[in-house]
Chain A
Amino acid sequence: MTNATASGRERVNYLNAGYGVRSWLLTTDHKRIAILYLIGVTVFFAIGGLAAALIRLELLTPAGDVFQAETYNKIFTTHGVMMIFFFMIRGIPAVLGNFLVPLMIGAKDLAFPRLNLLSWYLYIIGGLIALWAVVHGGVDTGWTFYTPYSTVYSNGWVVVTAVGIFLAGFSSILTGLNFLVTIHTMRAPGMTWMRMPLFCWGMYATAIIQILGTPVIAITVLLVAAERLFHLGIFDPAQGGDPVLFQHLFWFYSHPAVYIMILPAMAVISELVTAFARKPIFGYKFIAGSSVAIAVLSFLVWGHHMFVSGQSVYAGLIFSILSFMVAIPSAIKVFNWTATLYKGSISYQTPLLYAIGFIGLFTFGGLTGLMLATLGLGIHVHDTYFIVAHFHYIMVGGTIMAYLGGLHYWWPKISGKMYPEYWSRVSAWVIFIGFNLTFFPQFIAGYLGMPRRYHAYPEEFQVLNVMSTSGASILGIGYLIPLVYFFWSMRYGKDAVDNPWGATGLEWQTPSPPPTENFPETPVVTGKPYDYVTAREEVAVG
C-alpha cells in the first residue's frame, strides 16, 4: 500500500497519480471517473443552457420572428433532451455520488470500477449520438416523444435520439447498480445503516429508482424507434394502438426520474445544513426513511401527468391522492432541515447560501406541485407555462442549487483548492435573483393560459415573457461566474486543508485531495453521523 501520509504538496493523491491521457481515459478510480463525469455533465449543461438562451430570445417578442417554427421546436427539444437525460439525471449522482459514496462509507472504490468506467463511456457516446441527432438532424418532438407524433408524423431524427437516450439509460442503470452493491457490501467496519451519511441514503434511494424505472424508458424508446423503422403499430391509433399507453410507459419512468433528479439534491442539502449548522441533523431516521419512501411512492403517481389525456377519471383520482402522499415525505425533509438550523452554529459560507436558496425554492416549487396534483386545478394549468415554472423551480431552483452548493462544499476535497469566497457569494445571489425573475412570471403566464412549447404567443403575455427573458440573462451570467472561478481556483486557489469546514464524515478525515486508495488505512466507524459534540476537539485543530 502506498504511503500516503507524506506531508506537503508532494503528497501522492488521485489527481497527481498519473498525468497521461490514458491515465484518465482508462482510469477505474471512482474519483477520476467523477471528474470525467463533471466534464461531460458541464458540457451538456452548457449546450442545454445555450438552447435555453435561444428559447428565451425567441420568446422576447410575441411574433415568432427570430427562428422558424420548426427550428424553435428543435431548439426546445434540444434543451429538454440535453438537460433531462444528460445533465439532470446524471448530474449529482454521477459527479458527487461517484466521488463521495466510497469515501463516505470508507471503501476503496465502488464495487465494480470497470463497470463504472464503462458507464461513463456509454454516457458520453449516448450523449454525442443524441447531440448529433438534435443538432445535425434535428428532433422536434419535445423530450417527451409523445406518440403518434414521434412515431408517424415527425420528420426529425427520432430513432437516433432514441439510441442516444437508450445508451444514457443503460449508463444510468449501471451507475445505480454500482451504488446499490457498493452500499450493501462495501461499508467500512462499524458503518452500520443507521450510521451512514444521509447523502448515501439519498444515493441509495436514487439508485433504486434508476434500477427499477430506467429499463421501462429504455424499452419504450426502443419501441418508438422500432415503430418508426418497421411501421409497427404498438402506439399507432391507425393500427389499433393507443397513444395513451405510450404515456403510461413513458411516465412510469419519467415521473420517478424527477426524483432521480431531486433526491440527490435533497441528499446534498442534508449534508450542507448539518455541516454549516455544526449540529446533528434533526430527525436522521425520518430524513433517511423519507428518501426511501419517496423512491417507492414515486412509482405510483405517474398518471398525474395524464389528467387531461383521456385516462379514466377513476385512475385520475387514484393518481391524484397518491401524488399528494408523495408530498408528505418531502415536507418532512423540509421541516427537519429547518429544525436543524434551530440553535445551530450557523456559518454563512457559500454552500449554506445555496442550501438556504434550495430550501426556499424547493418549498415553493413543491407547494406549487400540489396545485398540479389537485385534479380540478391541474386541468387548467396542465401543459401551460405554470408547469414549466413549477418544474424549473424543482429542477433549477432545487437540483442545480443543490448541485452547485455541493460542488462548492466538496470542491476543496475534489480539487485540493479553495474557491474564492467573495465571488462565490456574488454568484449565489445573482443566480437566486436571476432564477426568480426568470421563472416566477411564468407561473402567472401559465395561469393566464399561455401554453408551453409555443413559438409565437398572443401579445397579452409579452410583459411576463420580457421579465422572464431578462431574468434568464441574469441567470446565465450567474452560471458563468462559478465556471470561471472553479477553473481559476484549480491553478490559483488557496490549498485546501483536509477539513476546511470542520465537518464530520469520513470524507473529511482523509487528505484533500484524497489518495488513490481513498484512506491511508481502512477507517473504523464507532459512532453515529454528524456527532459534532464528540468531534469538537478535532474541529478545534482543523
Chain B
Amino acid sequence: MAEGSHAAAHDAHDAPRELRHHFVDMEAQQEASALGMWIFLVTEVLFFGGMFTAYVIYRASYTRAFEGASNLLDLKLGAFNTAVLILSSLTMALAVWAGQQGKKNLIVLFLTATILLGGTFLGVKVIEYKQKFVHHEVPGPHFVVPEGLPRQSEMFFSLYFCMTGLHALHMVIGIGLLLWLIARARRGDFTPRYNTPVDMVGLYWHFVDIVWIFLFPLLYLLGRHTL
C-alpha cells in the first residue's frame, strides 16, 4: 500500500471540486473509495455466506429432496436469466469504460441498457416466483409437498426463496444506484478525471452477478442427469 499520503497539501492551486477536503489529492480519494467498496463486498460475501453454509449443510443431509425440488425449478427461465445477467455485466463494464473516457452519452446508453437487462432479470424472477405460488411450492403454511418428493423439499424452497430473494433485493438496490448514476451522468458529473461513482457501482453490479453465477448451478442444476 501507499506509504501514507503525500506530503503536499491540496490547498494550493486548482483543487478539483469533487475532491473532499480531507484527502490529499484525487488519487488518494479514488484509492480510498475503491478499497472501501472492495471491503464492503467482503461483507457481502460473508452475508451470502451464511446462507451458503445452511445450503451446504442441508443439501448434504437431504440430497434427494434437494435434487427433486431443484428439478421443479424452470431451467429455461433460470438459464435465460443467467445469460441476461452476464450481458448486463458486459454493459456495466462498458459503462465504466465510457466513464473513464468521460463520454456522457455512452455512459447513459450503457447504464440504460444495464437497467433494462436488470429489469428483465427481475421480471423473469417474478414469473418464476408466481409459478411457485401457483404450485404451492412456497414454504410455509400453504406448502404442499410435491408428489414423489421427501417432505424436506420444503427446506430447498426455503433456501431458494431466501437466497434468490436477497439476490433480487440486491438487484433492486443496484437498479436504484444505476438510476442515480444516470441522473449524475446527464448532469455531466463524470469526466476522465472523476468517475469514481460509476466505477464503484460497477463493482457492486458485477458482484451481484457473481453471486448469481454460483446460485444458478447450486439451485437449478441439481440432479438434472438423474431424470
Contact A232 B151 (CB under 8 A): no
What are the residues of chain A within 8 A of B140 when measuring CB–CB? 230-232
Residue of A nearest to B6 (CB): A189
- With A181-B35, A211-B39, A241-B155 given, is the CB distance from A188 to B162 under 8 Å? no
**A110 CA to B162 CA, complexed, in Å:** 35
Chain A residue with minimal CB distance to B4? A187
A216 touches B40 (CB 8 A): no
Cβ-neighbour of B3 out of A192, A239, A242 (below 8 A): A192
Q: When chains A and B are docked, how far (Å) is the Cα of A216 from the Cα of B48? A: 8
Nearest A residue to B21 by beta-carbon distance?
Answer: A108
How big is chain A's contact interface, by range?
Answer: 35 or more
Chain B 9-45, CB-CB to A under 8 Å as 1, else 0, gives 1010000000011110000100110011001101111
Tell which of B3, B47, B54, B141 touches A245, judged by Cβ atoms closer than 8 Å: B54
Instruction: Check A113/B22 contact, CB under 8 A, given A187-B4, A211-B39, A212-B46.
Output: yes
Q: Do B154 and A233 have beta carbons less than 8 Å apart?
A: yes
A215-B44 Cα distance, complex, nearest whole Å: 7
Contacts of A226 in B (CB 8 A): 162
Q: Please state if B50 and A188 are interface contacts (CB–CB under 8 Å).
A: no
Counting CB contacts under 8 A, is B139 at the interface? yes
Residue of B nearest to A231 (CB): B140
Query: How many whole Å from B13's CB to the nearest CB in chain A?
Result: 14
Q: Is B226 an interface residue (CB 8 A)?
A: no
Given the known inter-chain contacts A185-B31, A233-B154, A245-B54, please indicate yes or no for A177 contacting B11, CB distance below 8 A.
no
In the bound complex, residues from chain B placing their C-beta under 8 Å from that of A230 are 139-140
**Nearest chain-B residue to A232 (Cβ)?**
B158
B residues in contact with A109, CB < 8 Å: 21-22
Contact present for A188 and B5 (CB under 8 Å)? yes
Q: Are B5 and A187 in contact (CB under 8 A)?
A: yes
Of B1, B46, B139, the contact of A232 (CB 8 Å cutoff): B139
Contact of A216 among B31, B47, B152 (CB under 8 A): B47
A111 CB–B CB distance under 8 Å: yes
Interface residue A160 (Cβ < 8 Å from any Cβ of B):
no
**Residue ID in chain A nearest B152 by CB atoms:** A240
List residues of chain B with CB within 8 A of the CB of A240. 58, 61-62, 151-152, 154-155
- Please indicate which of the listed interface residues B20, B23, B46, B152 has the most CB atoms of chain A within 10 Å of its own CB: B46
Cβ-based interface call for A190 (8 A): yes
The interface residues of chain B lying within 8 Å CB-to-CB of A219 are: 47-51, 166
* Contact indicator B57/A189 (Cβ below 8 Å): no
> Mask for A171-214, Cβ within 8 A of B = 1, else 0?
00100011011101111111110000000000000000001111
Give the number of chain B interface residues (Cβ < 8 Å).
48
User: What's the Cα separation between A522 and B32 when bound, in Å?
Assistant: 19
B66 to chain A, nearest CB (A): 11
Residues of B close to A191: CB separation below 8 A: 4
Q: Is the CB of A234 within 8 A of B4?
A: no
> Is residue A504 contacting chain B, with contact meaning CB distance below 8 A?
no
Interface check B227, CB cutoff 8 A: no
Given A184-B1, A231-B140, A233-B155, A522-B39 contact (CB < 8 Å): no
The answer to whether B1 and A185 have CB atoms under 8 Å apart is yes
- Answer yes or no: B131 CB below 8 A from chain A CBs: no
Which residue of B has the minimal Cβ distance to A185? B32
In the complex, chain B residues whose CB is within 8 Å of the CB of A245: 53-54, 57
Give CA–CA (A231, B139) in the complex, Å. Answer: 7
B135 vs chain A, min Cβ distance (A): 17
Task: Check A223–B51 contact: CB distance below 8 A.
Answer: yes
Q: Mark A1-26 against chain B: 1 for CB-CB distance below 8 A, else 0.
A: 10000000000000000000000000
Closest CB of chain A to B4's CB: distance in Å?
4
Encoded as 1 (CB less than 8 Å from any B CB) or 0, chain A from 507 to 542 comes to 000000000000000101000000000000000000
Residues on B with beta carbons closer than 8 Å to the beta carbon of A232: 139-140, 158, 161-162
Complex Cα distance, B140 from A512, in Å, reads 60
With an 8 A cutoff between CB atoms, is B134 at the interface?
Answer: no
A229 to nearest B CB, angstroms?
9
Q: How far is the CA of A436 from the CA of B20 in the complex (A)?
A: 49
Q: How far is the CB of B42 from chain A (nearest CB, A)?
A: 6
* A249 close to B50 (CB less than 8 A): yes
A220 interface contact, C-beta 8 A: yes
Report the separation of the CA atoms of residues A230 and B129 in the bound assembly, to the nearest whole angstrom: 15
Report if B159 contacts A (CB, 8 A): yes
Contact B44 A185 (CB under 8 A): no
Q: Is the CB of B42 within 8 A of A212?
A: yes
Closest residue on chain B to residue A195 by CB atoms: B4
B223 to chain A, nearest CB (A): 18
Residues of A within 8 A of B4 (CB): 186-192
Residues 221-278 of A contacting B (Cβ, < 8 Å): 223, 226, 230-234, 239-242, 245, 248-249, 252
Are the CB atoms of B9 and A522 closer together than 8 Å?
yes
Judge whether A177 and B151 touch: CB under 8 Å: no
Contact A177 B36 (CB under 8 A): yes
| Chain B 50-86 interface mask (CB, 8 Å, partner A; 1/0) | 1101100110011000000000000000000000000
A112 at the interface (CB under 8 A from B): yes
A234–B1 Cα distance when bound, in Å, is: 42
Contact of B50 (CB < 8 Å), options: A108, A180, A215: A215
Chain B contacts of A111 at CB under 8 A? 22, 32, 36
Residue of A nearest to B153 (CB): A240
Residues of B within 8 A of A186 (CB): 4-5, 22-23, 28, 32
| Contact sample, A vs B, 12 pairs, CB 8 Å cutoff | A107-B22, A108-B21, A181-B36, A188-B4, A212-B46, A215-B43, A219-B49, A233-B158, A234-B155, A239-B152, A249-B54, A522-B7
List the 10 closest A-B pairs by CB distance, nearest first. A219-B50, A215-B47, A108-B22, A109-B22, A215-B46, A187-B4, A232-B158, A240-B152, A231-B140, A215-B43
**Known contacts A185-B1, A191-B4, A218-B47, then 15 further A-B pairs from the complex at CB < 8 Å, ordered by chain A residue:** A1-B11, A112-B32, A112-B36, A173-B40, A177-B36, A177-B39, A177-B40, A177-B43, A186-B4, A186-B22, A219-B47, A233-B139, A233-B155, A239-B151, A239-B158
B contact set with A: CB distance below 8 Å: 1-7, 9, 11, 20-23, 28, 31-32, 35-36, 39-40, 42-51, 53-54, 57-58, 61-62, 139-141, 151-152, 154-155, 158-159, 161-162, 166
